[in-house]
Structure 1
Amino acid sequence: MNIVIAEDNEILRKSLSFFLTSKGFTVDQFSDGQEALEAIEKNNYDLILTDINMPGKSGMEITQYVRQNINSDIPIIIFTSSGVEQTELDSFDIGANEFIAKPISPAVLFVRINKLLNIRL
């Protein structure tokens, strides 16, 4: 299973990548939303993990582009440090499947990923 992580926080991005790789996933990681979006257009990913606030393109812009321009139903999990309820609602309105507030628990993220990908634990 191939996952793309778009997260500008290097420590979080690398730690999530390491964790998911240890669970058997192949992970491509990007600190810039535009670079992530270009990779999404060229590659077949099974899941997108994206932060909302990033350089290049935001997680909201990535989600909207994937849903409207690529017309893909690939599962998307958005995470953010924003605790604003409207941000979460907006994420679901544009097509996100899950929304996780930071700090992110790798164990909880793993369960949500498996649920979205219909993988038995």
Structure 2
Amino acid sequence: MRIILAEDNDILRKSLSFFLESKGFTVDQFSDGKDALEAIKNNGCDLILTDINMPGISGMEITQYVRQTLNSDIPVIILTSSGVEQTELDSFDIGANEFIAKPISPAVLLVRINKLLKTRV
């Protein structure tokens, strides 16, 4: 299973990638939303993990593109340090499947990923 991980915080991105790879996933990691979106368009994936605030293209823009332009149901999990309820509601409105506030529990993230991937099979 291939995961696109778009997160501009180097430490968080590398630690999440290491954790997910240790659980058997292939992780393509990007610190920039534009590069992540190119990979989604060109290579495809089974799940997208994206921070909201990133250089280039935001996680919200990635989600909108996947839902509206690609017309895809690839599961999208949005990660954010924003605790604002409206941000969470907006994420769901544009088609995100899950919303996880930072700091992220890797164990909880894994449960949510597996749940989303199981419903797709």
Considering the TM-score relative to the shorter chain, is it more than 0.5? Answer: yes
For residues 67 and 56 of structure 1, the distance between their equivalents in structure 2, rounded to whole angstroms, comes to 19
The amino acid across from 1:5 in the alignment is: L
Identity within the alignment, %: 84
Q: What is the Cα deviation at residue 44 of structure 1?
A: 2.0
Structure 2: which 5+ residue stretches go unaligned?
Answer: none
- Corresponding residue for residue 64 of structure 1: 64
Q: Please state whether the residue corresponding to 2:118 is helix, strand or coil.
A: coil
For residues 70 and 15 of structure 1, the distance between their equivalents in structure 2, rounded to whole angstroms, comes to 29
Instruction: Normalising by structure 2, report the TM-score.
Output: 0.97
For residues 90 and 8 of structure 1, the distance between their equivalents in structure 2, rounded to whole angstroms, comes to 21
Task: Give the ranges of 4+ consecutive aligned residues of structure 1 lying more than 4 Å apart after TM superposition.
Answer: none
Q: Please state whether the residue corresponding to 2:35 is helix, strand or coil.
A: helix
- Corresponding residue for residue 105 of structure 1: 105
How many residue pairs get aligned? The number is 119
For residues 66 and 4 of structure 2, the distance between their equivalents in structure 1, rounded to whole angstroms, comes to 13
| Cα deviations by residue, 1:43-90 (Å, 9 ceiling, x for unpaired) | 120000000000010000000000001110000000100000000000
The amino acid across from 1:99 in the alignment is: F
Q: Please state whether the residue corresponding to 1:118 is helix, strand or coil.
A: helix
Instruction: Normalising by structure 1, report the TM-score.
Output: 0.97
- Corresponding residue for residue 94 of structure 2: 94
Measured on the aligned residues, the alpha-carbon RMSD in Å equals 0.8
Structure 1: which 5+ residue stretches go unaligned?
Answer: none
* Greater percentage in helix: 2
